[in-house]
Structure 1
Amino acid sequence: MAFFSWDTKYSVNVPDLDKEHKILLEMLNELHDAMKQGKGKENIERLVNNSASYAKSHLSHEERLMEQCGYPGFQEHKKQHEFFVQKVNEFKNDVNQNNYKLSSELLKFLKDWFVNHITMVDSKYSTSINNCKVK
């Protein structure tokens, strides 16, 4: 059973961004499975590093679209992304230094971020991006 499953309530009604959100969710489930199964340090580090890298790429894409489409909440949204990247980098450094007791904190943070950020913050840009001619 998956740690976390996609639900239509997470859709931002922007197909490319929904697709990226689903990939992030799959990566979160893969990380959870690796931690639960006690996979080796290299596997967990690789998954954390890959997830962090993909998340940064996704956030950049999202920010580019918001900026191009003149989304009025862009600056505040970008600040939330910066906070997320900072927290993920802290977790990533802990994992890379063999501090695995934070793994459950990392998973909780990522899941909470996913649910709260997408449903309460990302959902707000949907209309702006969908009404935008630039994509």
Structure 2
Amino acid sequence: MAFIVWDEVYATGISSIDEQHKHFVSVLNRMLEALSQKKGKEEVSYVIDEMSRYAEYHFHTEEGLMEKAGYPDIAEHRIFHDAFLSKVNDFLYKYNQNDETLSAEVTIFLTFWLNEHLSTIDQKYVPSMKRAGIS
């Protein structure tokens, strides 16, 4: 069951980025499903690992396209990416400490990232990429 359905508000119109964002939504849905079944603690390890893998390939793709497009605010955007990676490391530490509230914290963070980063922050680079012919 999908708790969050892909919506065009998250879309950039850049196929590689949108596909990666859809994967992010599926990871969040997996976490939400686990929580609804009271299995959040069991699933959180997978989600943290997947967040780390996602960040590696997605941020590399996104920043590479920003560079190619000459996006002027790439340094500012990288700060958001660095904060995401820092949060993933924090989650991993808390997981290793058996933090009982971690599954809820991860879910809240991913939901916030979806609603703030994908639908707002990422939209800022779209015009630069479109002007550069990236789609």
TM-score by length of 1: 0.87
Moved more, 29-38 or 105-114: 29-38
Identity score, percent: 37
- Aligned residue in 2 for 1:69: 69
Amino acid at match of 1:27: V
- Measured in 2, the distance between the counterparts of 1:4 and 1:42 equals 21
Amino acid at match of 1:87: K
Alignment of 1:53-132 (within 5 A): 53-132=53-132
Give the total of aligned pairs.
135
Residue pair 2:44, 2:103 contacting (<8 A) in 1 also: no
The alignment status of 1:32 with 2:17, answered yes or no, reads: no
State the Cα distance separating 1:46 from its structure 2 match.
Answer: 2.2
TM-score by length of 2: 0.87
Secondary structure of residue in 1 paired with 2:72: coil
Deviations 1:13-62 (A, max 9, x none): 11110111001100111122223323385643123212321133211210
Amino acid at match of 1:75: A
CA RMSD of superposed structures (Å): 2.1
Residue pair 2:59, 2:81 contacting (<8 A) in 1 also: yes
- Aligned residue in 1 for 2:17: 17
